[in-house]
């Protein structure tokens, strides 16, 4: 029964991610909207139940090869959705492939979901979102103009 439940939830998660990403043009604002929605939804959950997939992976019995295969397939499917959308982003930071960006985004999504479950303050969630966007997308000209010389992306030095 748990196998069917995880498969159903995984299908629903892929549909939800596709719908959320489809609400904006590919790029920084698309990912901002997606991450902000995840953060807001998580913070609005009064019981901090978290994400069923995150909980399943953390609590899964990895000696069950079928559960492990279902979860791995789901993660691959979600990453493929991210990669498809990121490949269309015109503002992806130079030198980062869509596949690399998709893996990074997936890790950030998991981090946000885990931290929300642990009581992440909204301000910290905003910082995570901004840092994710900063790492994935080319700096905006208006941000660069306000930054100190040779400093971008959250004040970190770039060579």
At 110, give phi and psi (nearest 5°). Answer: -65, -40
- Per the structure, how many domains does the chain have? 1
Locate 86 and state its tokens. 């990121």
Domain of residue 16: give its range: 2-157
Neighbours of 138 (CB within 10 A): 18
At 118, give phi and psi (nearest 5°). Answer: -90, 5
CB pairs under 8 A, 24+ apart, for 144-149? none
Report yes or no: 56 and 6 within 8 Å, Cβ to Cβ.
Answer: yes
Sign, Cα dihedral of 18, 19, 25, 28:
negative
pLDDT, residue 1, reads 72
pLDDT, residue 55, reads 57
Residue pLDDT, tens place only, 80-121: 999 999 999 999 999 999 999 999 999 999 888 888 888 888
Q: What angle do CA 93, 111, 64 make, to 5 degrees?
A: 115
**Residue tagged 């498809």 (tokens):** 84
CATH of the domain at 103: 1.10.357.10
Residue pLDDT, tens place only, 8-43: 888 898 899 999 999 999 999 999 999 999 999 988
**Residue tagged 């590919």 (tokens):** 26
Residue 45 C-alpha from the chain's centroid = 18
Report yes or no: 113 and 38 within 8 Å, Cβ to Cβ.
Answer: yes
Residue 96 C-alpha from the chain's centroid = 16
**% pLDDT > 90, the chain:** 47
Q: What residues contact 5, with CB distance under 8 A and at least 6 apart?
A: none
What integer best gives the mean pLDDT of the chain? 82
Locate 16 and state its tokens. 């939800």
């Amino acid at each position: 029964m748990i196998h069917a439940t995880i498969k159903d939830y995984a299908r629903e998660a892929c549909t939800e991610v596709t719908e959320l990403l489809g609400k904006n043009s590919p790029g920084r604002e698309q990912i901002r909207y997606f991450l902000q929605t995840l953060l807001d939804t998580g913070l609005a959950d009064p019981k901090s139940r978290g994400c069923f997939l995150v909980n399943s992976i953390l609590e899964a019995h990895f000696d069950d090869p079928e559960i492990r295969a279902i979860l791995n397939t789901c993660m691959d499917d979600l990453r493929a959705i991210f990669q498809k959308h990121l490949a269309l982003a015109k503002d992806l930071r130079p030198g980062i492939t869509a596949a690399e960006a998709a893996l990074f985004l997936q890790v950030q999504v998991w981090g946000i979901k885990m931290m929300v479950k642990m009581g992440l303050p909204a301000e910290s969630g905003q910082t995570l979102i901004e840092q994710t966007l900063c790492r994935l997308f080319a700096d905006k000209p208006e941000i660069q103009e306000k930054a100190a010389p040779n400093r971008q992306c959250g004040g970190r030095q770039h060579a």
